[in-house]
Structure 1
Amino acid sequence: MPLPPFLTKLDFSPRRLAWYGATLVLAFAGGGVFAWLGMPAGWLSGALVATAVAALLGAPVGVEKTTRLCIYIILGTSMGSSITPDTLKGITTWPVTMSVLVASVPVMMVVVIAYLEKVAGWDRRSAFFAAAPGALSTVLIMAESSGADTRRVVFGQSLRLFVLVALLPAAMGGLGHQPAGTLPINPVVPDLTSFFLSLGVGIVSGLLAERMRFPGGAMVGSMLASGVVHGAGLIEGRLPDLFLIVGFVVLGANTGSRFAGTRLETLRRFFVDSLVALLIATGVALAFAVLGSWLADEPLPKVLLAYVPGALEAMTIMAFVLGIDPAFVAAHHLTRFLGLALLIPVLARVFFGRAEIPSENVELDKTEPKD
């Protein structure tokens, strides 16, 4: 019986193995420093920054393909395991604000895509994934499998997360909200049986989705299957934090290594383009939040935090910190997250297909590796 394709393409040369190991060590060091400093999404952003700097300095950093596949499955399973029956019930209790949120997502994406493609000159694939409001790790995986320039995507998504986490508390104060509350502590799986069942569901579903060549299949498949069994109450508890930490570090290392050969002038353009895109997306979110707040008679800060294009985990934790109903915020971000996870792979397959290299319309540096 022949080996699976991903096992036949392994590079076990001592030099490559040494650089794979060095990349992971560097990524964990960077992630650890950022997490210790309390930076937003510290393990992911720290690993990304550390490996991106190394790549820009010419180091041949990288993450082996099979390692990426395993990490995608772990990330998908971890995020799916955070869903509970109470979370799913909460989605049905806010129909007005949910409806306005659903309406805001396509408007936000179309406006941002139009700016990035028509004004900033990005290729359509990269603009599409950079415009997705939230679900950073999922979007990065699907962007890579669809041939987008992941440098642009990660820069746009990461800048948005940094700015929102840094400025939203002050913005909420400007809207009259007084911070309060504590951070949540969600229970992990209660026993080894639940742990192995949860992980097994994610592995099997992720590999099946990958086998079907579904964009982002390893992560999307494992996330949806894990979310179904946890949301139905068949398995309780999330995976231990260690799995998310390892997953975020490896994902950050893989994404940071994509900056090899990128010139500083290119990064400057990415920053300006991404910042303007963030301002546009936030403006759309604010407009719809005003509408949702008025229709549902809910406080504007509460609705705005549920609508901003941030990450599910970061915005939910911020809700606790600011003393805003975390169930409300989590349910809205979860609804958008699941919608993006379901629809973006389908839209990407329909419009872009599957590609192993960035789109031919992406402006690449001449020194950039093409593999």
Structure 2
Amino acid sequence: MPLPKLFKHTFGSSPRQFASYASTLVAAGVGGALFAYAGMPAGWLSGALVLTAVLALAGVPVAVSPPIRTATYVVIGTSMGATITPDTLRGIATWPVTMAVLGLSVPVMIGASVLYLEKVSRWDRRSAFFASVPGALSTVLIMAESSGADTRRVVFGQSMRLFVLVALLPGVMGGLGHQPAGTLPVTPVVPDLAGFLMSLGVGILGGLVAERANFPGGSMVGAMLASGFVHGLGLIEGRLPDLLLIASFAVLGANTGSRFTGTRLETLRRFLVDSVVALVIATAVALGFALLGSWLADEPLPKVLLAYVPGALEAMTIMAFVLGVDPAFVAAHHLMRFLALAMLVPVIARLFFGRAVVPSEAVEIDKSEPKD
């Protein structure tokens, strides 16, 4: 991309768009700082998310430019890869057990949510199904539109699930006995400039390759895999500096909160209770299977639960990183679920719903979302 075009894409093509991008980042910093000062778990992330979402619902134009979002994914993916050690690789031997239990949990999770939305909340079956699928949002939205689902319900249900999970999971994890090591990961910072540049360069390369290959999780997962490879071999030691991580957490919170841009209060009132109750049901199912997986594999319950909850790949992997849970374990489980759903959802949709005779309703809220 030519430099002038990249500059406009990053900072806005007009003063108004630049002001929107800049004010969003300022609001994210303020919200994150307030939550961090109050000692909230994952404060920089959840505080930025909450304040940005409030502004979006109030009609304030909030947005994060795609290049800044991508750069943020690379920074966090690179730092997550730095947590991978030979001990992590040895622990992979226990993962097939929890993977198998995860596979059992997904149809139960979807079925329970659909049952509530269809029978209690009176959603049509198509909308209830697509709103209940945990992850694989890009595939879900394409199939929902072509199958005649009410995409407003689907998008709102998916967005609300991500918002609630990111905002409340730190507290839930604490209630289950998990104590984060601190507000930032405990891996030591990379010791010198050469190591910093090498680590960041490896992450950028991995992110670019993953984006070009359309790999699930895109730049974040690509950066994490590349960084994890070199750190696992001991070629580089340490994560990126704290200031970069703090800024990245705030940007991620702003990006999630800005998804409520364009959401009408009427839509919020109509779908809020239905979406939250469906999330509670899905999370209860995830907790039940997490108890089973934790017992069978002798893994800590908070770690398995974070790998099973119905959240997006990037968001849940980042939550694991922030909360001091093995991000490689969490990412692997969400990635496997993503791949399975991306392959099966189109088949299920075609078999049970077919192509819509009447187009789905117009979308009233923002559908933009990074690949998960």
Please state which band the TM-score falls in when normalised by the shorter chain.
0.7 to 0.9
Match in the other structure for 1:341: 335
Instruction: Report deviation, 1:370.
Output: 7.0
Instruction: Report deviation, 1:29.
Output: 0.5
Find 1:285's aligned residue among 281, 284, 287. 287
One-letter identity of the residue aligned with 2:109: V
Instruction: Report deviation, 1:237.
Output: 1.2
Match in the other structure for 1:175: none
Instruction: Report deviation, 1:186.
Output: 2.3
C-alpha deviations, 1:243-266, integer Å up to 9, x for none?
222222112212212212213454
- Retained in 1: the 8 A contact 2:139–2:345? no
- Retained in 1: the 8 A contact 2:80–2:321? no
One-letter identity of the residue aligned with 1:259: F
- Retained in 2: the 8 A contact 1:312–1:337? yes
One-letter identity of the residue aligned with 1:63: V
Instruction: Report deviation, 1:351.
Output: 5.0
Question: Secondary structure of the residue that 2:238 maps to in structure 1?
Answer: coil
Separation in 1 of the partners of 2:263 and 2:6? 30
Separation in 2 of the partners of 1:200 and 1:260? 34
Question: Secondary structure of the residue that 1:62 maps to in structure 2?
Answer: coil
Instruction: Report deviation, 1:110.
Output: 2.2
Q: Is the alpha carbon distance of 1:185 and 1:220 closer, same or farther for their aligned partners in structure 2, counting shifts above 3 Å?
A: closer
Match in the other structure for 2:352: none
Q: Is the alpha carbon distance of 1:65 and 1:170 closer, same or farther for their aligned partners in structure 2, counting shifts above 3 Å?
A: closer
Q: Is the alpha carbon distance of 1:275 and 1:241 closer, same or farther for their aligned partners in structure 2, counting shifts above 3 Å?
A: farther
1:14 and 2:18 are equivalent in the alignment? no
- Retained in 1: the 8 A contact 2:189–2:240? yes
Q: Is the alpha carbon distance of 1:17 and 1:51 closer, same or farther for their aligned partners in structure 2, counting shifts above 3 Å?
A: same
- Retained in 2: the 8 A contact 1:123–1:361? no
Separation in 1 of the partners of 2:254 and 2:180? 34
One-letter identity of the residue aligned with 1:127: S
One-letter identity of the residue aligned with 1:105: L
Separation in 2 of the partners of 1:230 and 1:264? 47
Name whichever of 163-172 and 241-250 sits farther off.
163-172
Match in the other structure for 2:2: 3
1:69 and 2:70 are equivalent in the alignment? yes
Name whichever of 69-78 and 278-287 sits farther off.
278-287
Separation in 2 of the partners of 1:361 and 1:72? 32
- Retained in 2: the 8 A contact 1:81–1:227? yes
Counting only pairs closer than 5 Å after superposition, residues 190-269 of structure 1 correspond to structure 2 as: 190-268=191-269, 269=271
C-alpha deviations, 1:69-123, integer Å up to 9, x for none?
222222222222221222222333xx3xx44421222233222233444542446
Find 1:305's aligned residue among 302, 305, 309. 302
Instruction: Report deviation, 1:28.
Output: 0.7
Instruction: Report deviation, 1:16.
Output: 0.9
- Retained in 1: the 8 A contact 2:42–2:323? no
- Retained in 2: the 8 A contact 1:215–1:349? no
One-letter identity of the residue aligned with 2:160: F
Contiguous gaps of at least 5 residues in structure 1: 133-141, 173-178, 320-329, 353-359
Counting only pairs closer than 5 Å after superposition, residues 1-371 of structure 1 correspond to structure 2 as: 3=2, 7=6, 10=9, 11-92=12-93, 95=94, 98-117=95-114, 119-120=116-117, 121=123, 122=127, 126-128=131-133, 131=134, 143=137, 147=141, 151-170=156-175, 185-268=186-269, 269-287=271-289, 289-290=291-292, 292-293=294-295, 295=296, 303-309=300-306, 311=316, 330-331=325-326, 334-341=328-335, 344=338, 347-348=341-342, 364-365=363-364, 368=365
One-letter identity of the residue aligned with 1:156: R
Match in the other structure for 2:350: none
RMSD: 3.7
Instruction: Report deviation, 1:211.
Output: 2.3
The aligned length equals: 325
Instruction: Report deviation, 1:13.
Output: 1.0
- Retained in 2: the 8 A contact 1:85–1:230? no
Question: Secondary structure of the residue that 2:215 maps to in structure 1?
Answer: coil
Separation in 2 of the partners of 1:272 and 1:251? 26
C-alpha deviations, 1:130-167, integer Å up to 9, x for none?
x35xxxxxxxxx74697586653343134235544334
